[in-house]
Structure 1
Amino acid sequence: MDIQTSKTDGILTIEFNRPERKNAITGAMYSTMAAALRDAEGDAGVRAILITGKPEIFTAGNDLDDFLNNVGEGKMTEDRPVFQFMSALESSSKPVVAAVAGAAVGIGTTMLMHCDLVYAADTARFSMPFAQLGLCPEFASSLLVAQAAGYTRAAEKLLLGEAFGAQEAFEMGIVAKVLPSSELLAFAQRQAAKLVKLPPASIRTTKALMKRSRAALVKETIAAENERFSAMLVGDEAKEAFTAFFEKRKPDFSRFD
C-alpha cells in the first residue's frame, strides 16, 4: 500500500509508503489519507494523529505524471482528492503531529502548516517550488508561511523556491523541534501519546480556539490561491516548466513577460 494506516493506543498513524517514487503523492493516496482523517474524526478511539514518511524521504510532493494526467481543464475543484485531503486535515478537530525526515517538497511542506505539532530530523529539507513551476502557492501557504516566518523570509522561500534545512525551518517557526534522524519517530510517537492521555475535549477546544482567528482568512486565501493556481496550471509558463522537468533540462522562461 502506498499509504499505510494503523491505529494503536489512541494514535492513528498515516505513513507515506512509496519510497521507490520518493513518496510522490497520487490522487489515490490523497483519497486514502482523506478517508482516514474523516474516519478518525468520528472515532472516539482516535485521540491523536501522526503523519510520517520514511527516514530517507517524507514526500517529493505531487506525482507529476498522475497530477498532470488528471488536470482536465485545469480547474482545481473541491472534489479533487488533494482538496479532500487538505480539507480533512485543516478541519480535523483532533491534534495532528507530523514527523519529517528527508525532503518535504511542495505540498509536503504546505501540509505541515495545517498540522499542530511538527518535528523534523536534522536531515529534513523543505521546499515550496511553486514559482519555479510557473505556478503560485497553494492551500494558504502564502498566508501561513508569512505569518510564521515574517514576510521577507517567506518571500525568499516562496519566490525563489529553494530548499532549506531543518534548523532554518525551526527558526522560521515551521517546525517545533529538530532531532537526530534516529530519534525522530520515537519522539513524535511519545508526543502523540502525551496528547492521547490529556482530556480530549480540552485538547479539541484549545486547538479550535487557536485556529479560530485565522479560519476565515485561511479559507479566503485558499480560494484566492486556487483561482490563480488553476489559471496558471494551464498557462504557458507551467507548460514550459513541466516539459523541461520531463525532458530533464532547465526551463527557459526568457520569452515570457
Structure 2
Amino acid sequence: MPDSPEDILITRNATILEIAFNRVPKKNALTDAMYRQIADQLEAAADDEGIRAVLFRGEGGVFTSGNDIHDFSLIATGQRDAKDMQVMRLLRILAHYEKPVIAAVEGLAVGIGLTLLLHCDLVYVAKDARLSVPFVDLALVPEAASSLLLPQIIGPRRAYAMFACGAVMEGAEAAELGLANEALDAAHVLVTAREKAHMLSQKAPGALALTKRLMRDGALIAAQMDREGALFAERLVSPEAREAFMAFAQKRRPDFSQF
C-alpha cells in the first residue's frame, strides 16, 4: 500500500496538537514517510507558542504494530541506506522535547509503539492493550533509548524478557508497573488523554518545560539512542536480519540455526 498524507492525521484542537496513526489496514505500521511527517509536526509545534501539548493516538482501535517490515527489508537488501531512516530523526527530537507529550493507547503497541511511550509524559492505556518490543525476534536490538529507559521503569529482568523473549505486557500490568499512568476501558482512553492534555495546556509553559528538563537527561538519552542506532543499522543488514524479514514475509518462524 503506498504512503499517503492520510496515513497520519493531524488535528489541532485549540492548544493541543493531535497526531494519529491512520494506516488501519496495516495495523498502523509506521513507514519512513510517516516518521518524516511526525518529525516535521513535532518540530513545528516546538516553535509554535500556541501549541501547549502534543497527543499521540491510533485509529481503528490500534496504537501501532511498529515499524513497517517492508522498510526494514529495503535496507536489508541494500535498496535503502539505514542512515536515511527518518525514525532516527524523530527519536532525536523526542530526546530533547520540552512540551508535554501524552499518549492514548488502544490495541497493539509493538516496537516503536512501546518505546515511543518512554518519551511521553503521560500515558493512558486500554486494560486489554498489548505492548511488546520483540526486537530480538527480528534479529535487531532495542531503540529509542529503550535499553536504558525501559529497565529503569519495569526492572531489568522484565525488560529483558520483553526484548529477548518477546514477552507481551497487557495494559493493566503496564499501569501497575508504572509504564502507564492508568489502565482504562478502551472507550475512556482517548477521552481521558484529551482531558489531561487540556489540563496541562492551561499550566505555565515555562514551568512545565523546566520541570521536564530537570526530570530527563536529554544528553544521556540522545547518547544512548546513538549507541543503539549504530548497532540497529548494523543489524538491519546482517544475515540474521535478512532471514528474520524473509520469514516474516513468508509467514514462518525464522531459522537461526545456521548462524
Q: Shorter-chain TM-score: which interval? A: over 0.9
Give, in whole Å, the separation in 2 of the partners of 1:65 and 1:196.
38
Give, in whole Å, the separation in 1 of the partners of 2:198 and 2:103.
13
SS in 2 for 1:33: helix
Specify the code of the residue in structure 2 equivalent to 1:253.
Answer: F
Correspondent of 1:29 among 34, 46, 53: 34
Written as runs of structure 1 = structure 2, the 5 A alignment for 1:105-184 is 105-184=110-189
Q: Normalising to structure 2: TM-score of the pair?
A: 0.93
Indicate whether 1:57 and 2:62 are aligned.
yes
What is the percentage of aligned positions where both structures have the same residue?
43
- Residue 73 of structure 1 deviates from its aligned partner by 7.6
Specify the code of the residue in structure 2 equivalent to 1:243.
Answer: M
Give, in whole Å, the separation in 2 of the partners of 1:243 and 1:55.
28
Specify the code of the residue in structure 1 equivalent to 2:197.
Answer: A
Give, in whole Å, the separation in 1 of the partners of 2:31 and 2:162.
25
Q: In structure 2, what is the equivalent of residue 102 of structure 1?
A: 107
Conserved in 1, the CA contact under 8 Å of 2:27 and 2:65? yes
SS in 1 for 2:254: coil
Give, in whole Å, the separation in 2 of the partners of 1:55 and 1:176.
22
Conserved in 1, the CA contact under 8 Å of 2:66 and 2:113? yes
Conserved in 2, the CA contact under 8 Å of 1:16 and 1:52? yes
Structure 2 portions without partners, runs of 5+: 1-5
SS in 2 for 1:58: coil
Q: Which deviates more from structure 2 when the two are superposed, residues 217-226 or residues 122-131? A: 217-226
Q: In structure 2, what is the equivalent of residue 207 of structure 1?
A: 212
Q: In structure 1, what is the equivalent of residue 196 of structure 2?
A: 191
- Residue 75 of structure 1 deviates from its aligned partner by 5.5
Structure 1 portions without partners, runs of 5+: none
Q: In structure 1, what is the equivalent of residue 3 of structure 2?
A: none
Instruction: Give the direction of change, closer, same or farther, for the CA distance of 1:253–1:74 in structure 2 (3 Å limit).
Output: farther
Specify the code of the residue in structure 2 equivalent to 1:133.
Answer: L
Indicate whether 1:221 and 2:224 are aligned.
yes
SS in 2 for 1:14: strand
The number of residues matched between the two structures is 253
Conserved in 2, the CA contact under 8 Å of 1:121 and 1:181? yes
